[in-house]
Amino acid sequence: MELDRLKNYDKDHCWQYDIRLNNKEEDLILAGLTEVGASKLKVKDFTFKNVTLKEEQNKLKEFIKRHEWLGTLSQYTTQWFACYYKDTLAGVMLFNMPNAFSKLLGEDTKEMERLISRGACISWSPKNLASNFLTYCIKWMVKNTQWRLFTAYSDPTAKELGTIYQACNFYYLGQNSGTTKRYINPYTGKMVSDRYFRQKTAYKKYAKELGITWEKNWNHNTGMSWDNVPDDIEKKLRDFSKEKQKSSECIPFPSKHKYAYVLGKNKAETKKLRRLFEDRNKTKPYPKER
């Protein structure tokens, strides 16, 4: 991420739309399309799919790095979705474990919640492709998994309002007061949340710096298997993590807009869950000014 550009971004549209504008000419050439031809495309010309093969997921990663404004993947992606125009990848949507589980649906929320962590569509895609794609992903998740609550954030720093979530009739939960903190990754120079310093990839770097030999049984699919790490080494790694975070440049940012969507497998379940959500949470009017 270009930190200076982020701090000084002053255009009337969001940063991700700016990326679409900048990528469009090359994207059209790579897809073998003209601007006139692309303008005639409809949502029905695209296909959506759930992606499970690692090789294809790697292509989705590269798409996000090019087309999504953060340009990085978040940790612990659990569901991958792709949108194709013929053989051309035209959109990606990723769902993750939430950074912290909410209680938007009570104590059972943890068993039902997923975070919409990344998403982007190709620059020449139809205007309503993104909302149709997101709707497909949510319906697929509800049909094939236990997930019923889908949370998402939009970042005012990048002049995001959450337009796609408004188009899909998400609940708007507001923008928490105060600021959030982000840090400059000491290894890459990119911006990260405080969560980065407690991720497996970071711990591996700490171990190397500390001269600690990494053991395979310390790995876990979604993080660390601390039960397999000797107590003295665990303490060294955790202490080093705290020091790394403390010594990294910290940058305050406005809190993000938060959205949520609730969907059940049928009308009865949807009605029940939405009533529960509305009873437990205060929703607000959509923000309209960047």
- Residue type (1 letter), 65: K
Indicate whether 287 belongs to any domain. no
pLDDT for 71: 62
Q: Is the domain of 71 the same as that of 104?
A: yes
pLDDT at 66 over 60: yes
Q: Is the domain of 119 the same as that of 172?
A: yes
Q: Is the domain of 144 the same as that of 224?
A: no
pLDDT for 139: 98
Indicate whether 286 belongs to any domain. no
Q: Is the domain of 8 the same as that of 72?
A: yes
Indicate whether 289 belongs to any domain. no
Q: Is the domain of 170 the same as that of 209?
A: no
Q: Is the domain of 265 the same as that of 204?
A: no
pLDDT at 267 over 90: yes
pLDDT for 219: 92
pLDDT more than 70, % of the chain: 92
DSSP 128-192: THHHHHHHHHHHHHHHHSS--EEEEEE-GGGT---HHHHHTT-EEEEE-SSEEEEEE-TTT--EE
Q: Print the domain residue range for 92.
A: 3-178+255-280
Q: Is the domain of 48 the same as that of 76?
A: yes
pLDDT at 3 over 80: no
Q: How confident is the model at residue 93 (pLDDT cuts 50, 70, 90)?
A: very high
Indicate whether 228 belongs to any domain. yes
Q: What backbone phi and psi angles, to 5 degrees, belong to 261?
A: -130, 135
Indicate whether 63 belongs to any domain. yes
CATH code for the domain in which residue 123 is found:
3.40.630.30
Q: Is the domain of 143 the same as that of 112?
A: yes
- Structurally, the chain folds into a number of domains equal to 2
Higher pLDDT, 40 or 76: 40
Of 68-77, 80-89, 138-147, 202-211, minimum mean pLDDT range:
68-77
Q: Is the domain of 71 the same as that of 212?
A: no
CB 52 within 8 Å of CB 145: no
Q: Is the domain of 247 the same as that of 269?
A: no
User: The sheet that has 250-254: what strands, in order across it?
Assistant: 191-192, 179-184, 250-254
**Strand pairing of 219-220 and 223-224?**
antiparallel
Q: Is the domain of 205 the same as that of 153?
A: no
pLDDT at 257 over 80: yes
* Mean pLDDT over the full length of the chain: 89
pTM of the model: 0.76
